[in-house]
Amino acid sequence: MTQASAIEVLLPIWQRVLQRSSVGLNDNFFDLGGTASSASKLFDEIAGIFGRDLPPVLIYAAPTIKTMAALLEDPATPRIPALLRMKSGAESPPIFVAHGLGNTLLELSGLAEKIASRHPIYGMQARGIDGVDEPLASIEEMAEFHLEAIRRLQAHGPYFLIGYSFGGLVTLEIAQRLRAAGEKIALLALVDSYPDKSQISATQRSLLSLRLMKRRAWSLIRSTPGSIPVQNAGDIRVATQRMTELMRDSADLALRRYCPRLYPGPIKFVKAEIITYFPDDPTTVWAHLAGQLDVETVPSDHVGMLTTQCETLAAVLSRLLNEAGG
């Protein structure tokens, strides 16, 4: 298929998914109101029409109809880079963000759009979602993989690093390596990020296990036969789903293996007010591992931070970035 014919097919798909009567060939998907959900719908349609099972996070590599047509013109499997620009900005240095366990940068799309900063935002996409390379199975390897890309984009500090959930551990390890190389970390923000439960105290493990048992029991009480939605097999894009599961397994293994060490600089920690899967108090986990620990609270649970309270979280991070000079 030529690029011109791909454009002809893509144009009505974009109009339909974005619910717009007019879309320019160079219009950015997110500038047109695109979201993580609509990106998934877009790639579902692409899979059905073009027969290409591609991960939706590719929208950051091909955010316009023209660039997407060029991507589809090439029969080779597109490789997804370690860094993807999620938001443009006129000032330097950039801001780097990392996604959570087993997911893609699309989970941070709403947050990135709402962060108020004149600096560009780049997302660290875990290796393997494109099906070309194997996922990495240690946080140290993940940190080195992303650090190489970060140093190519920004050779020297100050660096601004934000990590959500599992991604917080990756950014922590990146910050450790940058500091060891004599670089300045202007901001290291961990968003509801915790090491494996084997790394927390016995008391915290007991309290956490009790809470999780209660949550599971409550879930069983509330569930009824047939209440779990079953996805239409025809709607499942098998290769992407398989790679997502493989990445999740690799990340789970990396989490269990990782033992965080003392970070001598300040850590800004943003916690969810509604406790779900993690310890009640982040200071019991992180105070002895940070030169300085400052804790902020967002009125939501772990998932709600990126959904219902996305603007609140963005406001907190925007303030922390501003205070740090970013």
pTM of the model: 0.88
Residue 266 token pair: 């300040």
User: Do 177 and 102 have their domain in common?
Assistant: yes
User: Are both 158 and 139 inside the same structural domain?
Assistant: yes
Query: Which of 279, 284, 286, 282 minimizes the C-alpha distance to 263?
Result: 286
Q: Is there a domain that residue 86 lies in?
A: yes
pLDDT of amino acid 197: 82
* Whether 114 and 172 share a structural domain: yes
**What is the distance between the alpha carbons of residues 59 and 165, in angstroms, rounded to a whole number?**
23
pLDDT of residue 230: 31
Choose one of 28, 44, 78: the last residue of a domain.
78
Residue 186 lies in a domain: yes
Crossing angle for the helix pair 238-257 and 139-153, nearest 10 degrees? 110
Question: Are 136 and 248 found together in one domain?
Answer: yes
Q: Say whether both 265 and 123 belong to one domain.
A: yes
Residue 97's φ and ψ, nearest 5 degrees, are -125, 150
**Maximum CA extent, the chain:** 63
- Helix/strand/coil percentages in the chain, nearest 5: 50, 15, 40
Any domain includes 295: yes
What does the angle CA 91 – CA 94 – CA 95 come to, to the nearest 5 degrees? 125
Residues 212 and 87 reside in one and the same domain: yes
Which structural domain, as residue segments, surrounds residue 251? Answer: 79-224+238-326
pLDDT at 286: 96
Domain boundary among 56, 78, 100: 78
How buried is residue 67: exposed, middle or buried, by Cβ count under 10 Å (0-12/13-18/19+)? middle
Is residue 97 domain-resident?
yes
- Asked, for residue 231, whether it belongs to a domain, the answer is no
Single out the residue of 59, 308, 268 nearest to residue 164, CA to CA.
Answer: 268
Determine the Cα–Cα distance for residues 269 and 279; give it in Å rounded to an integer.
Answer: 13
- Which CATH number goes with the domain that contains 149? 3.40.50.1820
Q: Is 31 in the same domain as 108? A: no
Same domain, 163 and 131: yes
Do 98 and 184 reside in the same domain of the chain?
yes
**Helix count (H) and strand count (E) of the chain?**
10, 7
User: What's the confidence (pLDDT) of residue 211?
Assistant: 52
169 within a domain of the structure (yes/no):
yes
180: which 2 tokens? 């060891």
Residues 15 and 146 grouped into a single domain: no
Residue 306 lies in a domain: yes
Buried/exposed code over 177-207 (b: 16+ C-beta within 10 A; e: otherwise): ebbeeebebbbbbbbbbbbebebbeeebeeb
Q: End of a domain among 50, 78, 106? A: 78
Tokens 């330097």, residue? Answer: 92
Per the structure, how many domains does the chain have? Answer: 2
Q: Which of 28, 22, 15 is nearest to 59 (CA)?
A: 28
Same domain, 34 and 139: no
Whether 159 and 150 have beta carbons less than 8 Å apart is answered as yes
**Angle in degrees, 0-180, between the axes of helices 166-180 and 139-153, rounded to the nearest 10:** 60
Pair 73, 94 in one domain: no
Q: Which segments of 19-106 does DSSP mark as H helices, in order?
A: 36-50, 65-73
Q: Is residue 120 part of a domain?
A: yes
pLDDT per position in the chain (326 positions), as tens? Answer: 687 788 999 999 999 999 999 999 999 999 999 999 999 999 999 999 998 889 999 999 999 999 999 999 988 989 999 999 999 999 999 999 999 986 799 999 999 999 999 999 999 999 998 888 899 999 999 999 999 999 999 999 999 999 999 999 999 999 999 999 999 999 999 999 999 988 776 666 555 555 555 444 434 334 333 333 333 334 446 667 788 888 899 999 999 999 999 999 999 999 999 988 888 899 999 999 999 999 999 999 999 999 999 999 999 999 999 999 87
The CATH number that applies at residue 42 is 1.10.1200.10
Q: What is the pLDDT of residue 172?
A: 98
CB atoms within 10 A of CB 248: 16
